Chains A and B, each alone.
Chain A
Amino acid sequence: MNPLQETFQQTESILRTENANIYYGQFLALKGINLDVQKNKVTAFIGPSGCGKSTLLRCYNRLNDLIPSFRLEGKISYYDRDLYAPNIDPVQVRRKIGMVFQKPNPFPKSIYDNIAYGARINGYKGDMDELVEKSLKGAALWDEVKDKLKQDGRAISGGQQQRLCIARAIAVQPDIVLMDEPCSALDPISTIKVEELIHELKEQYTIVIVTHNMQQASRVADTTAFFNVKVTDQGNRQGFLVECDRTEVIFQNPREESTQQYISGRFG
């Protein structure tokens, strides 16, 4: 065992995926996933379009439950609790495991209420002004919006909206923040701001980020998982996990040929 792998295995795993098969109806979208997400680390999911990385991400906070044909085989656990056990309330899962989406999606409410909404439905009893300020500071947005908290959340720039969505997610005080290509709709400067934010956030949160941008993965992630897709005999596209390791290993010395090819831009 090389020294890199040793440190990789030292930290505690917060999300554990064991033999997961994800179906939409009869169609197997992701096959045989075994993957651990380490606590207080940034884990990036990379891979070509259609490889199911976003699908897996949405399993972690049970957002796929909203799709009627969705079905999971295998086990996904948060610490040692099975997220898909019958007595688990998906609403409670989502309060622990927050999400930031591809397109900034602030509510048609004021900046203040965008943040306060999640806290209110979670029964937050403390000082709301303080929480809003703390969350906006946490998302590096406070200085830009502190004088216009009553303004509509959709009236600010796209990059600011996305940071507002991050602030909204952390205001609920989750353990894990899932990010589904959070920068794909943003300009380069806003992207850098969000990436800097991710670095700060991992002190307190565990972050799982899906990204199309390999440089982004190499910049922000401690661990990187590479997914690929193959076409089955029936002509369906089926995603699978190729490998998951420390980001340096994936980018400099991957075990698999296909990872090497994807990283160097030869496909995907």
Chain B
Amino acid sequence: MSFTNNSASRTIQSRSAKERTLNTGFIVFSQIFAWSVAGTLIWLACLVGWQAIPAISKFGLGFVFTSSWNPPQESFGVWPEVYGTLASSFIALALSVPIGLGVAIFLSEDYLPTPVQRVLVFLVELLAAIPSVVFGLWGIFVLIPFLKELTPLKSPALLPAALVLGVMILPTITAISRDAMINVPQDLRQAAYGLGATRWETIIQILIPAASSGIIGGVMLALGRALGETMAVTMLIGNANQVSLSLFAPANSIAARLANQFAEASGLQVSALMYAALILFGLTLAINIIAQLLVTRLQKI
């Protein structure tokens, strides 16, 4: 075999001008799109921050720890809302993490015939497609009357809001945990069974730790959603400006405060609402950053 030595076979065709223009155009356009998405986030944050400046300069950090919300006297604070937001979200998590994880285990192992399993997985994921206003209506007309029969509950309160939130974030936790469990290499299952581990020992001691980064990611995503959920919470939490340790007492959340008051707000009140929005924004951002850090750290292990 020999290589031909004539010059024609040695030249490499240069790219046509048209192709080069198209290529550059594509790169420029996709860059613009990418930056505009990031830009929207920054622009939104700046806008909210800008409008919050009067309230920030007037109330400072004390805003977070003050309980009054008195537009005529221009005295504002979001302590009850911060408390209500965190309490309702964490109660929701406490309910839905064990249930969601349990469902994820059940639907990732071969307990059920595959077709039944597929239908169940689909139904669980469909739960995420229900609009939150529908959850709110269900809470008002079904859950609250039901709870009134069983508990000291008299009106919309923290408990029904937290329960409905729990149901709303259940599909997120279930779907992401299930994916994480399924993606644990088959090797590890076999290694555990091969050592004489029972199914439970394998699931609890090997599969869940191996899937923990995904599971925690799902929980954090769910928490982010719970913190910001507006409609269902506004309809169920009672919108009372108070901090009460009772689950049966009306409470409030930042998102509910914003939704309730924007229409009639003016002047410093708008600024105070923006400040509250900024706090909520910071809260969810912090949760997401922590989630990212946890996930990357756990993936390294």
Report the stretch among A71-79, A117-125, A252-260 that lies at the interface. Answer: A117-125
Q: Does A108 reach chain B (CB closer than 8 Å)?
A: yes
Report the stretch among B32-40, B63-71, B203-211, B254-262 that lies at the interface. Answer: B203-211
**A6: shortest Cβ distance to chain B, in Å?**
36
Chain A residues near B192 (CB-CB < 8 A): 107
Contacting residue for B193 out of A63, A68, A92, A165, CB 8 A: A63
A103-B187, A105-B188 known; A122+B196 contact, CB < 8 A = yes
CB-CB contacts of B196-237 with A at 8 A, as 1s and 0s?
Answer: 111001000110011000000000000000000000000000
Q: Is the CB of B188 within 8 A of A99?
A: no
Contacting residue for A99 out of B110, B189, B194, B206, CB 8 A: B194
Q: Does B195 reach chain A (CB closer than 8 Å)?
A: yes
**A115: shortest Cβ distance to chain B, in Å?**
10
Q: Is the CB of B196 within 8 A of A94?
A: yes
Q: Is the CB of A105 within 8 A of B193?
A: no
- Total cross-chain contacts (CB, 8 A): 64
Q: Is the CB of B190 within 8 A of A121?
A: no
Q: Does B185 reach chain A (CB closer than 8 Å)?
A: yes
Q: Is the CB of B196 within 8 A of A95?
A: yes
Q: Does A169 reach chain B (CB closer than 8 Å)?
A: yes
Task: Determine the interface band of chain A, counting residues with CB < 8 A from chain B.
Answer: 20 to 34
Chain A residues near B190 (CB-CB < 8 A): 63, 66, 99, 101, 105
Given the complex of chains A and B, what is the CA–CA distance between A91 and B202 in angstroms? 11
Q: Does B134 reach chain A (CB closer than 8 Å)?
A: no
Chain B residues near A91 (CB-CB < 8 A): 196-198
Q: Does A172 reach chain B (CB closer than 8 Å)?
A: yes
Task: Determine the interface band of chain B, counting residues with CB < 8 A from chain A.
Answer: 20 to 34
**A91: shortest Cβ distance to chain B, in Å?**
5
Q: Is the CB of B185 within 8 A of A118?
A: no
Q: Does B191 reach chain A (CB closer than 8 Å)?
A: yes
Chain A residues near B194 (CB-CB < 8 A): 61, 63, 94, 98-99, 101, 169
Chain B residues near A122 (CB-CB < 8 A): 195-196
A92 nearest CB neighbor, chain B only: B196
A107-B188, A108-B209, A165-B191 known; A172+B196 contact, CB < 8 A = yes
Q: Does B263 reach chain A (CB closer than 8 Å)?
A: no
A108-B210, A108-B301 known; A98+B195 contact, CB < 8 A = yes
**A157: shortest Cβ distance to chain B, in Å?**
17
Q: Is the CB of A105 within 8 A of B191?
A: yes
Q: Is the CB of B187 within 8 A of A172?
A: no
Interface residues of A in 54-105 (CB under 8 A from B): 61, 63, 66, 68, 91-92, 94-95, 98-99, 101, 103, 105
A101-B194, A105-B190 known; A121+B110 contact, CB < 8 A = no
16 contacts between A and B (CB under 8 A): A66-B193, A94-B194, A94-B196, A98-B195, A99-B190, A99-B194, A101-B191, A107-B210, A109-B209, A118-B195, A118-B197, A121-B195, A121-B196, A168-B195, A169-B194, A172-B195
**Contact residues of A with B, CB < 8 Å?**
61, 63, 66, 68, 91-92, 94-95, 98-99, 101, 103, 105-109, 117-118, 121-122, 152, 165, 168-169, 172
7 more contacts with CB within 8 A, not counting A95-B196, A103-B187, are: A61-B194, A92-B196, A94-B194, A106-B191, A107-B206, A107-B210, A172-B196
**Contact residues of B with A, CB < 8 Å?**
110, 185, 187-198, 201, 205-206, 209-210, 301
